[in-house]
Chains A and B, each alone.
Chain A
């Protein structure tokens, strides 16, 4: 296989990391919503934690994107 083709395939495979980020973000917002609907008065206090969890979950997916960029451009 040509190195260029292998690089493109590898970068595509690295992007699969975004699946995990999607699951994580969905879990966080879904659980926040169900919790907030059960106890709306407690929802405001957890909003900062929600944003923190969202940012942390999103970042793990972006690590995969960084791997893809490294494969594409650094090698």
Chain B
């Protein structure tokens, strides 16, 4: 966010700046042919999310026992959850894209959940990260559609059973709604994470500002709201994965 330059001065009084948590710090400055490719705190938390997911899945599945241990059943639960989602939404031939959806879901889930840890950094609260993920989904799905249907994929934008004069109106609408998919997909995740974390920080500021006597009411709200935020963190990862499946289904089967 560009907010950090002048966000600090605007929030007056003793309230801490709720936007400070989204600041990006360079840990190892790297200049890659004139591009700023520094290793930042965002990269650090992405790496941590990757290590958490990979470490959890590798360690929990190491036993490969027929009767799963607790950790193994959690890993199997996650696998089955996404496998069922892909099977229900895309069908069995969509299962070859299951590794991608599973990776996407686990990465976003890990980033969102790690963001709930105090003093951590929420990678998904930056639109460039979520837009990068959404752009991968969008471009990938479009390429799959064109590979499977060739030029016939363009019929996706022409609704069937519509009189010809109406098509002049409907085709641009279909096209625009298709092109806004990556925007809505990325803004949904980013806005949820940023708004939630900002609100947590604002109410955290209320707790401090009201002191020992009055701070209990916002503290109780904070506890409830943290629970809601954990739900939202899971839900947004789920929604991202479900919408990826739905887009994939559109490209593979063209339900129009």
Contacts and interface: CB of A to CB of B under 8 A. Distances in A.
Nearest to A69: B3
A52 interface: yes
A58 B2 contact: no
Size category of the B interface is: 20 to 34
Given A51-B238, A55-B236, A63-B187, A73 B6 contact: yes
Query: At the interface, is chain B mostly helix, strand, loop or mixed?
Result: helix
A50 B110 CA distance: 23
Interface in A39-75: 51-52, 54-56, 58-59, 62-63, 65-66, 69, 72-74
A62 B2 contact: no
B188 A62 contact: yes
- Most chain A CB atoms below 10 A, which of B188, B192, B194: B188
B195 interface: yes
B59 interface: no
A52 B239 contact: yes
B7 A73 contact: yes
Nearest to A68: B195
B195 A62 contact: yes
A63 to B, nearest CB: 6
Which 8 pairs, one residue from A and one from B, show the smallest C-beta to C-beta distance? A62-B191, A73-B3, A59-B188, A55-B239, A55-B235, A66-B191, A65-B195, A62-B195
Interface of B: 1-3, 6-7, 19, 184, 187-188, 190-192, 194-195, 232, 235-236, 238-239, 242
